[in-house]
């Protein structure tokens, strides 16, 4: 089932002289994890704002489920799509962390006796329950990002969009959130994740690569990432396994042509080193 269909979508910011997004086609199936990748300024945030109804296409058509994204259907779009912004500070509304999570639930008219359990569960999965009485404005950068994720999770969207939502987290916390996403996908959630990091993108099902507002490549993540020239052009931060294999290749060791995740790279090297017994 297609949960997102975009046909020939272009977008120009009001008053801007260039097009931020050009002739984009995209289909996302239910339960997929899609990575959106590309250089700074390539149009990633613009795309996810269009997919969540925060901007409307200048031309072209976007459907979320059976609903067309237009100014009459925004309530339904916001109900289905939850987005965590690149800048978490811009999304806080509550005066405490718990109120911030509650705010969206109230808007959705979630019965008030159900709210405490939802709030607790969502703050616990991002490890922020102990900060529930704290003001979001006084949290550290990484703590803010975690609360922003919890507040959107609480709304139980059908489609979850994360726009570089873990950029300030330490590697351990990043892994925890990545594991959480992989779990949520297994439970059927559709996830779109904007990232500059191959170590995150490689865990997706599909990848969409943008360059200067245009789609450079789209497809199964391994197929996209196996195009070495293309990956270079995207200026992604290399995953450790990929970095190591690149270096080995330069040192005259022949390595696989296709993209290996770090886990796969370690397995491949172990075999080559006869460490697998």
Ligand X SMILES: Nc1ncnc2c1ncn2[C@@H]1O[C@H](COP(=O)(O)OP(=O)(O)OP(=O)(O)O)[C@@H](O)[C@H]1O
Instruction: Return the DSSP state at 237.
Output: B
Size of the site for other proteins (CB under 8 A): 52
153 versus 189: smaller Cβ distance to other proteins:
153
Distance CA 108, CA 269 (A): 51
Site for other proteins contains 235 (CB under 8 A): yes
Distance CA 127, CA 117 (A): 15
- Given 2, 29, 93, 141, the residue binding ligand X (CB under 6 A): 141
Q: Which residues 10-69 are close enough to bind other proteins by CB under 8 A?
A: 13, 16, 18, 39-41, 44-45
Contact range with Mg ion by CB under 5 A, out of 133-141, 183-191, 212-220, 251-259: 133-141
Q: Binding pattern to other proteins, positions 75-94, x when CB under 8 A? A: -----------xx-xx----
Site for ligand X contains 43 (CB under 6 A): yes
Instruction: Return the DSSP state at 197.
Output: B
Site for other proteins contains 171 (CB under 8 A): yes
46 versus 190: smaller Cβ distance to other proteins:
46
Q: How far is CA 265 from the centre of its chain?
A: 24
- Measured CA to CA in angstroms, residue 101 lies from 57, 97, 186, 208 at distances of 30, 7, 24, 30
Size of the site for ligand X (CB under 6 A): 19
In the three-class reduction of DSSP (H, G, I as helix; E, B as strand; rest coil), residue 236 is classed as coil
- Given 59, 95, 140, 183, the residue binding Mg ion (CB under 5 A): 140
- Given 54, 115, 168, 230, the residue binding other proteins (CB under 8 A): 168
| Structural tokens at position 139 | 């949290």
In the three-class reduction of DSSP (H, G, I as helix; E, B as strand; rest coil), residue 242 is classed as helix
Name the residue whose CB lies closest to Mg ion. 45
36 neighbors 194 (Cβ within 8 angstroms): yes
Q: Which residues 162-191 are close enough to bind ligand X by CB under 6 A?
A: 168
Q: Is the dihedral of CA 53, 56, 60, 61 positive or negative?
A: positive
Minimal distance in Å, beta carbon 68 to other proteins? 27
Site for ligand X contains 139 (CB under 6 A): yes
Distance CA 256, CA 27 (A): 30
Instruction: Return the DSSP state at 26.
Output: E
- Given 4, 37, 46, 178, the residue binding ligand X (CB under 6 A): 46
Cα 237-240-241 angle, rounded to 5 deg: 120
User: CB burial class (10 A; 0-12, 13-18, 19+) of residue 247?
Assistant: exposed
The residues that touch other proteins, with contacts defined as CB under 8 A, are 13, 16, 18, 39-41, 44-45, 86-87, 89-90, 134, 138-143, 146, 164, 167-173, 196, 234-238, 240-241, 243-244, 247-248, 250-253, 262, 266, 269-270, 272-275
The residues that touch Mg ion, with contacts defined as CB under 5 A, are 45, 86, 140-141
């Amino acid at each position: 089932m297609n949960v997102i269909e975009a046909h020939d979508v272009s977008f120009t910011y009001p008053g801007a002289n260039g097009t931020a997004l050009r002739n984009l086609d995209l289909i996302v199936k239910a339960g997929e994890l899609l990575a959106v990748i590309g250089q700074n300024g390539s149009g990633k945030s613009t795309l996810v704002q269009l997919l969540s109804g925060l901007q409307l296409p200048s031309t072209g058509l976007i459907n979320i489920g059976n609903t067309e994204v237009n100014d009459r259907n925004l309530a339904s779009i916001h109900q289905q799509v939850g987005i965590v912004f690149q800048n978490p500070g811009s999304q806080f509304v509550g005066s405490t962390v718990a109120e911030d999570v509650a705010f969206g639930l109230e808007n959705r008219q979630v019965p008030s006796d159900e709210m405490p359990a939802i709030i607790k569960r969502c703050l616990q999965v991002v490890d922020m329950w102990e900060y529930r009485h704290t003001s979001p404005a006084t949290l550290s950068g990484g703590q803010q990002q975690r609360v922003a994720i919890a507040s959107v999770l609480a709304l139980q969207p059908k489609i979850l969009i994360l726009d570089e939502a873990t950029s300030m987290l330490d590697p351990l916390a990043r892994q925890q959130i990545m594991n959480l996403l992989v779990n949520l996908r297994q439970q059927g959630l559709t996830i779109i994740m904007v990232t500059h990091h191959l170590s995150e993108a490689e865990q997706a099902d599909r990848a969409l690569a943008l360059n200067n507002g245009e789609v450079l490549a789209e497809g199964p993540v391994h197929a996209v990432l196996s195009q070495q020239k293309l990956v270079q052009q995207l200026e992604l931060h290399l995953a450790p396994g990929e970095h190591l294999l690149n270096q080995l290749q330069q040192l005259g060791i022949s390595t696989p042509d296709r993209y290996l995740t770090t886990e796969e790279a370690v397995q491949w090297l172990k075999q080559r080193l006869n460490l697998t017994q």
